[in-house]
Structure 1
Amino acid sequence: MSVVAVGSCYVDTILTTLHYPGEDEKLRASSVTRRRGGNCPNTLEVLQQLTQHTPLNQSPKLDLITVLPARSSVASEQIRSAFEPRVRLDHCIYRDQFAEPASSYIIKSQSTGSRTIVSYNGLPEMSVEEFSRIADDLGPRATWFHFEGRAPDVTIGCIHYLREHFPNARVSVEVEKPGRDGLQELAVEADVVFYSKGWALHNGYISAEECLRKQSSQTPKASLLCCTWGQDGADAFEPKVDNFAHVAAYAEENFRVVE
């Protein structure tokens, strides 16, 4: 099996502070942490952890398609070293005129446990033409393409290209950001859809189960629909066989939900 994840890769800088700073306040952080982020890279990170004890020749092949700054940049080198060899970055798109990666700057308040995130991404988005060339290079060995629902107008073109040229490939999409136009159209075209609680609430659903059962009538190609619901866990639904499952969220004793 070969899984190809298509989405943004971020470099996160996390500052831990005693409290969230007020406007024009000077505040000293107690620690700083840098790590790689982004929905698709995080998905591959989890898959990598789940298969880390499996020999390379027996584990699923994992590929990341993302836009990165110049191949020689420090950020690109660090991202490659963090993933390889279990996640291949051979088909990433490098923007040679850029040195800075997509970035998030996060202030983590110790007094509340909350995180405030400011993001920046100056890298031009991937085009359908760029993706088409990569898909042709990967060929039929890529059995599953997973898309972050970041740029729906581009993603729908990529899915249509796969349906025409690689009809046996499975396609999954993330329907996450509330109010982002075009996500419903992506769900209609996908074999597997992952919905967020925020998107579901924004569209009038009051529970994960309601979201999945009502969305099943609007996603004729889907064999599996999933929806996360924060502290209430996650639900999954196989509409073709009417099979519904709920998984409770993991929680330690006396835990407190922050966000």
Structure 2
Amino acid sequence: MRALVTIGACYLDTILTVDHYPGEDEKLRASSISRRRGGNTLNSLEVLQQLLDCGPKNVEARAESMPIYVTSVLPAISSPAIREIEASLGSKIDLQHCIYREGASEPASSYIFKSMSTGTRTIVNYNELPEMTVSEFVQIAETLPTVLPRWFHFEGRIPDVTLQCIKYIRQRFPTDKVSVEVEKPGREGLQELAAVADVAFYSKSWAQKHGYQTPQDFLLSQSPLTPEASILCCTWGEQGAACLCKSKMEYIRSPAYTDAQHPVVDTIGAGDTFIAGILYGLIYRENDFTLQRTVDFANRLAGYKVTREGFEGLGAAMEGYF
């Protein structure tokens, strides 16, 4: 078991549900509005904390001694948004290693339009906060406890900076593990991040942008491009998810979980939920979860997520699958 450190953006999301996407200069009334804390890595942590709370007591007891640290750029520590962010996360999440921009009052924000007619979403982001620098990350990494083995999980946001951060970890703390998200198709430098990670999480859109139509073909193509990696994962929407265990060159597939009684209502954060399930298996259940079981667990978890708004109740929904 390892202490988990996540590095990624923190957003406050405003979600508007509409019948259809508005045309230019069109007025449209939303059918609902909700506001919640977002950000890929923090979404994953919200779910992961539920899994630790609802899973076996022996795992929860061991996890208590393994802190979960967040590194994220936030506005001034006195701003109202900080209280909202703190309230959205439980007691297991440590925010003392975040980067507070004291000259800013507004957090990074997303405005999400969910179309009922198409089942898709459109996201508009706003972020005035300067991104984390390599020197800021180095300073944080040096202050984190080193008595425990650690797992650094990076959102693939700022590839040039992230690449230098991972290289620093490799040189300074060679026994620590690194995972990274490779998600946005148009973002340059993500391939280089996957090449230096132990575990890489790919999106279907990224794979298809590079010309692949099946997860198996895609993951096999990535194997020679990821010399440090032991596990490659890829979500594939309605076809479920897949992983490649590189030590055995074993391809593992898990069909999508569906429930006829509970239709899909909210896909926002489904990929983050899948990552939470994989990290739970690899970090907290490494002695009793096979990789196949980890992928099946994460896939079912993501399947439950899309049948509900937000992330509430996901840990309890997995009772019987721990």
Name the count of aligned residue pairs.
259
Mapped partners of 2:222, 2:113: distance in 1: 36
1:85 counterpart = 2:91: yes
- Higher strand proportion: 1
Aligned residue in 2 for 1:194: 201
Residues 3 and 61 of structure 1 are in contact (CA less than 8 Å); yes or no, is this contact kept in structure 2? yes
Tell me which of 231, 240, 247 is aligned to 2:247.
240
Residues 95 and 123 of structure 1 are in contact (CA less than 8 Å); yes or no, is this contact kept in structure 2? yes
Mapped partners of 1:67, 1:158: distance in 2: 15
1:127 counterpart = 2:133: yes
Mapped partners of 1:109, 1:227: distance in 2: 26
TM-score (norm 1): 0.94
1:109 counterpart = 2:110: no
Q: Match of 1:72, as an amino acid?
A: S
1:31 counterpart = 2:37: no
1:65 counterpart = 2:71: yes
Q: What SS does the corresponding residue of 2:225 show, helix, strand or coil?
A: coil
Tell me which of 91, 97, 118 is aligned to 2:103.
97
CA 130–142 in structure 1, closer or farther in 2 if over 3 Å, else same: farther
Residue-by-residue CA offset, 1:195-243 (whole Å, 9 max, x unaligned): 1111111112221111111111111111111011111010011111122
- What root-mean-square deviation, in Å, do the aligned CA atoms of Structure 1 and Structure 2 show? 2.0
Tell me which of 157, 181, 187 is aligned to 1:180.
187
Residues 114 and 258 of structure 1 are in contact (CA less than 8 Å); yes or no, is this contact kept in structure 2? no
Q: Match of 1:83, as an amino acid?
A: L
Aligned residue in 1 for 2:171: 164
Residues 6 and 152 of structure 2 are in contact (CA less than 8 Å); yes or no, is this contact kept in structure 1? yes
Aligned residue in 1 for 2:52: 51
Q: Match of 2:95, as an amino acid?
A: L
CA 258–68 in structure 1, closer or farther in 2 if over 3 Å, else same: closer
Query: Gaps spanning 5+ residues in structure 2: where?
Result: 268-322
Cα offset, 1:24, TM superposition: 1.9
Q: Match of 1:58, as an amino acid?
A: R
Residues 2 and 144 of structure 1 are in contact (CA less than 8 Å); yes or no, is this contact kept in structure 2? yes
Q: Match of 2:126, as an amino acid?
A: Y
Residues 49 and 90 of structure 2 are in contact (CA less than 8 Å); yes or no, is this contact kept in structure 1? no
Aligned residue in 1 for 2:161: 154
Mapped partners of 1:187, 1:220: distance in 2: 9
Aligned residue in 2 for 1:14: 15
The list of structure 1 runs, each at least 4 consecutive aligned residues, that deviate by more than 4 angstroms after superposition, is 54-57, 254-259
How many percent identity over aligned positions? 54
Mapped partners of 2:20, 2:89: distance in 1: 34
Residues 112 and 258 of structure 1 are in contact (CA less than 8 Å); yes or no, is this contact kept in structure 2? no
Mapped partners of 1:187, 1:211: distance in 2: 13
Cα offset, 1:66, TM superposition: 0.5
Mapped partners of 2:124, 2:216: distance in 1: 32
Mapped partners of 2:266, 2:209: distance in 1: 20
Aligned residue in 2 for 1:210: 217
Residue-by-residue CA offset, 1:100-147 (whole Å, 9 max, x unaligned): 111111122333333221111111000000000110011423510001
CA 221–73 in structure 1, closer or farther in 2 if over 3 Å, else same: same
Mapped partners of 1:43, 1:18: distance in 2: 29
Cα offset, 1:258, TM superposition: 9.9
Residue-by-residue CA offset, 1:8-58 (whole Å, 9 max, x unaligned): 111110112333222222222232100111111111112111001458652
Cα offset, 1:67, TM superposition: 0.4
